[in-house]
Structure 1
Amino acid sequence: MRLHPSLCLLLLPLLFSLAACRPPAAPQQDNVIARVGQEVITPEAFASAAKSRGATTPEGQEKLLDEMVNDLRALELARQRGYERDPEIQRQLHAAMIAKVRESAGLGGEPSAADLPSEAALQDYYNKHQSDFSIPSRIHLAWVCVNLPASLSPAARQAKIARVQEVHARVLAQQPPAARTLKDIAQQYSEDQATRHSGGDLGWQLERDLSEERFPGLIKAAAPLQSPGEISPLVETSRTAFFVMLVERQPETIRPFQATRGEIIRRLQSGRTSAQEQRFEALLMQVPAEVHAEKLPSLPISAGAPDHLSGPRLPASPSQRGD
């Protein structure tokens, strides 16, 4: 009788547990360091464990042997209590087996040194994608701004413009330009409530984000400014009158290779993993499976039950079914 491959997968945990419970070929008595139930610790197994644990002294080896014996005692207790038939243990075994298959396909786990891209590959990627590692130009501005609502009479509007013109001239008179500040003047005259109490400070802005829609007139006013302390001409829009001062400007720069190295490794490995995932999926599709998705709507799955989303459950054990 041939078993369907999907049934074989479900039976694997049971086969594993039966194999574990099968009495092993009895080793020579002089080739056994300890025995617990059906399990033994051979000199070879102990030597391997001692080497990996660095147990080189007699005291360290005795301690290691006690730990290994107690582990076997715990395993024997687990078998006596039927834990190998516990659904959660079987699900964990399934997960470990699936992880092992993925690992054998080069997926999951930490990449080995052989999997890492070479320095030449990293440098080549950096040279070809420098625009990806650019730091956009930024500008730091401060301003004095008065509001010109539509409800103002022409005389009142002109009076407010004249006042900001006077303030503008006062700031221009400050020398040298690098020592200029709008702190006190903005607090006294600016009507932009978001910035007046911080001295009109608009903070750092990416120049590419200074759209005319968001900041009417601001781009045109700030574009010619190059040195800290430079003041723009007075700008008048339908709703405001303002001038800006350049606090600092940072041109576009390219991040150095060493600062981007880790990111480049992740990008290259991501592309490699994607290709491996595709090959792994093709491998999975070679395993026949019978699926009846049309039955899903009839399943009594209540909302908000995350337990149903934890993955496929194994068939109930005989003890659960009451066999």
Structure 2
Amino acid sequence: MPKERILIYSSLLTIALAGAGFYAFKQFSDSRLSEDEVARIGNSVITADQLKAYMGQRSSASNALDIKKQLLQEMIEREALIATAIDEGYEQDPAVVRALENALIARFRERQLNPAIERIRVSEDQVSRYYQDNIARYTTPAQKRAAIIKFELADNALAAESKRVGELAHRVQKLALSQPEAVRGFGSLAAQYSGDQGSRYVGGDIGWHAEQSQSLDPALAAALSGITKPGEISAPINGRDGLYLLKLMDIRGERITPLESVASNIRIQLLQRMRMEHEADWLKATVASVKPAVVNESVLSQMVVVRDEEVAAVRPPELPQ
């Protein structure tokens, strides 16, 4: 760390800690103390107001003389520790300097940034505008619930096998058309004939899908778009890995979540984004107010950080006990 920076933080720490400068101390209780001074240690003075403030922080404090003496002694001991630590150079310890830097940054942000962030408000117009601009996010497209029966058929199947499977699909289609309307999907026909293990035991039900659903075989998705009446059953469909029968079970139209249901979440999102943007602008302006940042790209590109495991690998062996 540059010597100049250490000196700066040393001075700041010294000022912040009430100008303590000696590690040896002696209590004074004589005429050299002014009326508002309770004690002096080295070059540091403890005033009546400081002692009162310290007493106010202690819930057990009272106006009894022995209690006041006890708390004053604690303050004297603290000043002595501070003075001794400074005298021995601890204010130049990198960890101490880092802690002071963090404290300075925290206080600076608290006084300069936080009040501005707290004043940020999201208006109803902003919420409404965001909702309208992102209406697709709050819209569930129209969907259809379908059931299938899958007949396994390889791409390279022989003509005879293709014919057999095709005839089977047509026979099962006729059986399905004769089922009662109350049957769920394809009912027991799915369990008997379908090769789709995920749906065969629930009547072939494959759930809700939007038009041109990416989760369906393209041939199935196209066929689903073409049937519009619940209960309607398609002719056999040539899919990627077999033949299919498709049945439309139900339809539900497009649904739009109303603004009042999502306004609170939108307001939170907008507030977070506005606060982050304000903080980014504030940091940029703060850097610019000091001086332009100059980056040594050459040094940056050649820099190598040794990780903990690499440090452990090159650590010398311990001395014998």
TM-score by length of 1: 0.66
Residue aligned with 1:181, SS: coil
Q: CA deviation at 1:261?
A: 2.4
What is residue 154 of structure 2 aligned with on the other side?
Answer: 149
Deviation at residue 284 of structure 1 after TM alignment = 0.9
Q: Cα distance 1:162–1:97, how it changes in 2: closer, same or farther (>3 A)?
A: same
- Residues 256-309 of structure 1: CA distance to partner in whole angstroms, max 9, x if unpaired? 32424223432354145325523531331232356544334555x34435999x
| Alpha-carbon separation, structure 1, partners of 2:94 and 2:197 | 64
Find the partner of 2:286 among 274, 283, 286.
283
For residues 12 and 135 of structure 1, do their structure 2 counterparts lie closer, same or farther at Cα, with a shift above 3 Å needed? farther
- 1:265 to 2:268 alignment: yes
Question: Which of 242, 245, 249 is equivalent to 2:244?
Answer: 242
- 2:29 is matched with none
- CA-to-aligned-CA distance 1:52-103 (integer Å, 9 cap, x gap): x8x8xxx6555x9999986885675466456543322321322332344445
Residue in 2 that maps onto 1:126 = 131
**Alignment-mate amino acid for residue 173 of structure 1:** S
Q: Does 1:173 align with 2:170?
A: no
2:143–2:251 Cα contact (<8 Å) kept: yes
Give a deviation string over 1:218-268, Cα, whole Å, max 9, x none.
1232225556x6243123216422122344544332223242422343235
Bigger RCO (CA 8 Å, 6+ sep): 1
Instruction: Give the secondary structure class of the aligned counterpart of 1:171.
Output: helix
Measure the CA separation in 1 of the matches of 2:307 and 2:94: 22
* Conserved? CA contact 1:125–1:264, under 8 Å: no
Q: Quick one: structure 1 residues 35 and 84, their matched pair in 2 at CA, closer, same or farther if it must change by over 3 Å? A: same
SS of 1:241's equivalent in the other structure is strand
2:179 counterpart SS class: coil
Larger radius of gyration: 2
Counterparts of 1:27-176 in structure 2 under 5 Å? Answer: 38=44, 40=46, 42-43=48-49, 46=52, 50=56, 61-62=61-62, 77=81, 80-81=84-85, 84-106=91-113, 111-112=117-118, 114-176=119-181
Letter in 1 for 2:179: Q
1-structure distance, mates of 2:33, 2:274: 50
Q: Deviations over 1:165-196 (max 9, x none)?
A: 2222323323234x423353323211234543
TM-score (norm 2): 0.66
Cα pair 1:216 1:237 within 8 Å, conserved:
no
The structure-2 alpha-carbon separation of the partners of 1:302 and 1:47, relative to structure 1 and needing over 3 Å to count, comes to closer
| Deviation at residue 146 of structure 1 after TM alignment | 0.8
Does the CA contact (< 8 Å) of 1:187 and 1:197 recur in 2?
yes
The residue matched to 1:223 in structure 2 has which SS?
A: helix
| Equivalent-residue separation in structure 1 for 2:78 and 2:72 (angstroms) | 10
Q: 1:126, 1:264 within 8 Å by CA — same for their partners in 2? A: no
Name the Cα RMSD after superposition: 4.5
CA contact (8 A) 2:36 2:48 kept: no
- 1:36·1:73 contact (CA, 8 Å) conserved in 2? no
Contact 2:211 2:224 in 1 (8 A): no
Distance 2:135 2:5 in 1: 49
Instruction: Show the counterpart of 1:184.
Output: 188
2:15 is the alignment partner of 1:14: no
Equivalent position SS for 2:289? coil
Q: What residue number does 2:253 align with?
A: 251
**SS class of match (1:93):** helix
* 1:230 maps to 2:231: yes
